[in-house]
Amino acid sequence: MNTFHYHQGELYCEDLSLATIARYYATPCYVYSEAAFRERYHSFSMALGEGTLVCYAVKANGNLAVLRVFVDMGAGFDIVSGGEMERVLRAGGAPEKIIFSGVGKSADEIRAALSVGIACLNVESAAELWRIADIAADMRLRAPVALRVNPDVDPDTHAYIATGLKESKFGIPMDAARALYLEAAKHPALELKGIACHIGSQLLNLAPLAEAAMRVRALYEDLSAQGIILEHLDLGGGVGIRYHEENPPSPADYAEVLDQALSGLPVKRAVELGRALVGNAGVLLTRVEYLKDNGSKQFCVVDAAMNDLLRPALYGAWHDILPLREDAGPSREPKQVMDVVGPVCESGDFLAKNRAISAASGDILAVMGAGAYGFAMSSNYNSRPRPPEVLVHGHQHRLIRRRENRDDLMGLELP
């Protein structure tokens, strides 16, 4: 499905021209397509089938209106903080469909998760497991847990978002996990639910996922042989998307890899997908302020910056940048190779490097692939109010987070 497309030379989101949105809400501005969220979720849930709970990884884009779309479709949720849990609950999500991952859960977060009755805590260390056991015992209940194992496979992605290697801070090494399951099985306040595993993000190659799933299977079988019968296997998230020229796995390819690795096991499955569900469902609209020629280098200075979209600065990530009016016709400026940069006072503040684009002051550009880890990673650096978020559905648009103002910037301070 092509949610963002040119129609009579104008870039559209579903049935609305993005120029209309930019006029209405000004720039910078995040715009999401509800149809794209729905289409991506349905593709994965159909491909993975009924035995798999597709959890949406809230960290990718936690706006309440976005979460409500996923609640409406029956998704589960993968959370990594008490704040994310509160978001899911306020969006109407059921606690029984929430899985809590993350290496540093605080005692308060564990207590809150147990008291609302979430489906599972994915445990990342022995120390965390015993903390959970103590809290559950104190609350006179049994904590549903899975150990998040570290399968030590190379996910073949950017180092900052690789999580399944021995040297990463995530998960419990396989051998240690095996021993820990045996110990945990004896604890009356722990209910062993499953095994969890997540090896990294923006995965384009399915082989590491297959390898990790095989290792999870081996552990499951080993534990079964020792009398520890688990209910579910959570294979994490990480399926990549196309930002530029990548060839990401299709939902069907992904489902087939999991099926092959886990066939015949009498367990439910869960996945924790973020980017693959929302990444290409969002854009960041930005206006060109100035074109600047430094002699050896041309710059296109826009009104969005690294505080609005951090991915290029942090990971050197590529985001396509498209003009709202298609590159055609004699009236357009010739393309020039430029760095697209924001107003923030850092040389790392760029949205694109050496990009051939045609732009003039006042033009509006769409930074594509900004639906995941875009607004979610934004900040107020340089005292910049964060942009609004707008949800489009068909011909309709709706403000789902207003633009921050100066009071929002300073309101919490105590001068």
Chain contacts with ligand LLP (rule: CB under 6 A): 57, 60, 78, 101, 161, 163, 198, 201-202, 236-239, 272-276, 311, 315, 372-373, 377
DSSP H stretches of helix in 247-310: 251-262, 275-278
Residue 256 identity (one-letter amino acid): E
Of 78 and 109, which CB lies nearer to ligand LLP in the complex structure? Answer: 78
- Copy the structure tokens of residue 335: 């393309």
Smallest gap from Cβ 296 to ligand LLP, in A, equals: 31
Smallest gap from Cβ 47 to ligand LLP, in A, equals: 15
| Residue 58: alpha-carbon gap to chain centroid | 6
Largest CA distance in the chain: 75
Catalytic position from the list 13, 197, 300, 345: 345
Of 198 and 325, which CB lies nearer to ligand LLP in the complex structure? Answer: 198
Task: Please tell me the distance from the alpha carbon of residue 236 to that of residue 230, in angstroms, as a whole number.
Answer: 17
CA quadruple 204, 84, 81, 75: dihedral positive or negative?
Answer: negative
Nearest to residue 8, comparing CAs of 329, 321, 281?
329
Task: Please tell me the distance from the alpha carbon of residue 228 to that of residue 167, in angstroms, as a whole number.
Answer: 28
Check if 300 is active-site: no
Smallest gap from Cβ 410 to ligand LLP, in A, equals: 28
Of 239 and 324, which CB lies nearer to ligand LLP in the complex structure? Answer: 239
Give 30: exposed, middle or buried? Use CB within 10 Å, 0-12, 13-18, 19+.
Answer: buried
Of 53 and 57, which CB lies nearer to ligand LLP in the complex structure? Answer: 57
> Residue 123 CB: number of other CB atoms within 10 A?
31
Residue number with the shortest CB distance to ligand LLP? Answer: 274
Smallest gap from Cβ 273 to ligand LLP, in A, equals: 5
Nearest to residue 254, comparing CAs of 401, 11, 48?
48
- How do beta strands 282-293 and 298-302 pair? antiparallel
Of 201 and 307, which CB lies nearer to ligand LLP in the complex structure? Answer: 201
Task: Please tell me the distance from the alpha carbon of residue 248 to that of residue 269, in angstroms, as a whole number.
Answer: 22
Smallest gap from Cβ 367 to ligand LLP, in A, equals: 13
| Enzyme catalytic residues | 345
